[in-house]
Structure 1
Amino acid sequence: MADRPASPAELDRLQADIERWLDRQRQQNPLVEAVDVDDTGERRWFVRLKGEQKDHTTVWLHLRQRTLHYETYVMPAPEEDHARFYEHLLRRNLTFHGAAFAIGDEDAVFLVGALPVDTLDEGELDRILGSLYAYVERCFRPALRIGFGSRFRDT
């Protein structure tokens, strides 16, 4: 599959594997608050996680012909100290595996990544969900203090 798009049958199998894994996560993982399926016909799922540093994180999984794309919204664009904010995120990218900070719609900050579908298995799904959760938990508060610091300072 690496050099060619996955067939419809292969995508159906992968979709079933992902849905079985998500059902187990919903039942067994105390951090998983909800799992929803995209109702537009896309092979896309939304996994809502309970956090500590950030109250909730939603991970989007999107099965495509060649990759499983995944992302999570981290925060809006910074209001201040832009250079230091983005430097912080870029330096954090160096410590991540399989995901990186990116600028998305309305200049919001996301963590994004993709995995070739021919390497997709439960271990990789665990790694993706766990990594995105850990990266958000590790980076959210420091980034918030840099990009929105004046909101939290005593006057």
Structure 2
Amino acid sequence: MTGAARSLAELDEVIGQTLRDADLVHEHPAPGKWLVDLPGTKKLKTVCGLIVGEHALRVEAFVCRQPDENREQLWTFLLQHNARMYGVAYSIDAVGDIYLTGRLPHAAITREEIDRILGAVLSYADDDFNTMLEIGFGTSIRREWDWRVKRGESLRNLEAFAAFADPDRRPDAVPDRRPATDPASPDARR
């Protein structure tokens, strides 16, 4: 329906039906306000807000807290991705937390477009998540890995970072210079 103004009730109906059809967990705390849980694989869940404004639908999803390190490198990574993204772009808030944000005019609010924009949010948040963590939190992840190894704790939820967190797999790791066997061992005397 282009040209004519669409009512809040009509827009809410389109959004609500789209979320129900997609079987997405969501909340509708007030007219024109939606919170949608988007299940991922790397980032297990991205919560996306859909807020109907006077002229446009605002889309906003928290992706990652402010980085501990390498901020400029991470901002460069995000800005380079923005040029190729559909409907949303990476942005940061006043403290440096990372979001995906976008706006759709009321005329563009259709089931297909809501599905497409939610798919884009999920794809960008999930696909880039581990890279963002490696760039912005690499030192903390390596420390956590080392601490867990020393204590014999599970590394299961850190396995995605093994290539750079595990000292034996890191490209900057110093090769082990110890002899293959201990000269004092019975195997070395044979």
TM-score range relative to shorter protein: 0.7 to 0.9
Over aligned residue pairs, what C-alpha RMSD do you find?
1.9
Q: Is structure 2 residue 5 aligned with structure 1 residue 14?
A: no
The one-letter code matched in structure 2 to 1:101 is Y
Q: Which residue of 2 is the match for residue 92 of structure 1?
A: 81
Q: 8 Å contact 2:14–2:109 — kept in the other structure?
A: no
**1: CA distance, partners of 2:3 / 2:110:** 18
Q: Is structure 2 residue 122 aligned with structure 1 residue 133?
A: yes
Q: Is structure 2 residue 37 aligned with structure 1 residue 48?
A: yes
3-state SS of 1:97 partner: coil
Runs of 4+ in 1 over 3 A off after TM superposition: 1-4
- TM-score of the pair, normalised by structure 2: 0.70
Cα deviation for residue 119 of structure 1 reads 1.7
Q: 8 Å contact 1:11–1:65 — kept in the other structure?
A: no
Pairwise mapping of residues 69-148 of structure 1 onto structure 2 (< 5 A)? 69-148=58-137
Cα deviation for residue 106 of structure 1 reads 2.9
- Pick closer, same or farther for the CA change 1:130–1:21 going to 2, 3 Å: same
Give the unaligned 5+ runs of structure 2: 147-190
**1: CA distance, partners of 2:79 / 2:104:** 21
3-state SS of 1:54 partner: coil
Give the unaligned 5+ runs of structure 1: 27-31
When the two structures are aligned, how many residues end up with a matched partner?
144
**2: CA distance, partners of 1:3 / 1:93:** 30
Pairwise mapping of residues 60-75 of structure 1 onto structure 2 (< 5 A)? 60-75=49-64
What's the CA shift string for 1:34-73, capped at 9, x where partnerless? 21112xx341111112211111111111111210111110
The one-letter code matched in structure 2 to 1:129 is L
Per residue, is there more strand in 1 or in 2? Answer: 1
